[in-house]
Amino acid sequence: MTGSFRRRALIAFGALALTLAVALGVMRAQTRGASDPAALAQLTAPSLPDIVEGSADAPATIIEYASATCSHCAAFHQATWPALKAKYVDTGKAKFILREFPLDPLATAAFMLARCAGSAKRDAVLDRLFDRQSEWAFAANALYELKGQMLDSGMSEADFEACLANQELLNHVNAGREIAASRPQVRSTPTFFVNGVRLNGEVGLDKFDEILAPPPR
């Protein structure tokens, strides 16, 4: 092997090693949940005020875009959310924000009603609707069954009707969906952003762990 060939080979090998090192660093940063500033910037302007579960000062942020009639969203809230809440939200490690991304008019109505219940009760109402989704979302008279769920949660019939007639609230829910579809480009539910890192679909606690509590390397 000539000296010039050896030098060229070493240079090429060094460049390849540098490329691999950079790629590995990116992979590790993603695995460790490094924030994605560009993604986070796109997530900061909802149409309706965010309702935060957990400490507002928590170091990590979990945002879920959900539809009230989405069966995968309901499955997540039944199977994964309790453990996620206990491990990260209740311990002050992360704050959780659910944003409305209705996939149909019935989901829009459900989100409006949950908002009308008040900011302190909205998430509890949505938990109830997800837990009982099969009882109202897929019923022959779905709106009537949704009304029953809201009356059972403490809403009056007059407030139920007034809420669904609130055009300003309807506009805000629809605008929030358009914003999410445009900027973070949400296309399906549930879609999560964990410190700006996107997770699509009904994911388990292990996927959140990979971002929020990765094993040491």
How do residues 179-202 score in pLDDT, each as one tens digit? 999 988 999 999 999 999 999 999
Q: How many domains is the chain built from?
A: 2
Q: What is the pTM of this model?
A: 0.80
The answer to whether 61 touches 94, Cβ cutoff 8 Å, is yes
Q: In this structure, are 94 and 9 located in the same domain?
A: no
Is the preceding peptide bond at 105 cis, omega within 30 degrees of 0?
A: no
Q: Is the pLDDT of residue 28 over 50?
A: no
Q: In this structure, are 24 and 44 located in the same domain?
A: no
90-99 mean pLDDT = 97
Q: In this structure, are 159 and 81 located in the same domain?
A: yes
Q: Is the pLDDT of residue 83 over 70?
A: yes
Q: In this structure, are 127 and 191 located in the same domain?
A: yes
pLDDT digits (tens, 9 = 90+) for 146-156: 999 999 999 99
CATH number for position 177: 3.40.30.10
Q: Is the pLDDT of residue 105 over 50?
A: yes
How far is C-alpha 82 from the chain's CA centre?
15
Q: In this structure, are 146 and 189 located in the same domain?
A: yes
What is the C-alpha to C-alpha distance for residues 163 and 169, in angstroms, rounded to an integer? 8
Q: In this structure, are 17 and 67 located in the same domain?
A: no
What is the residue range of 118's domain? 37-212
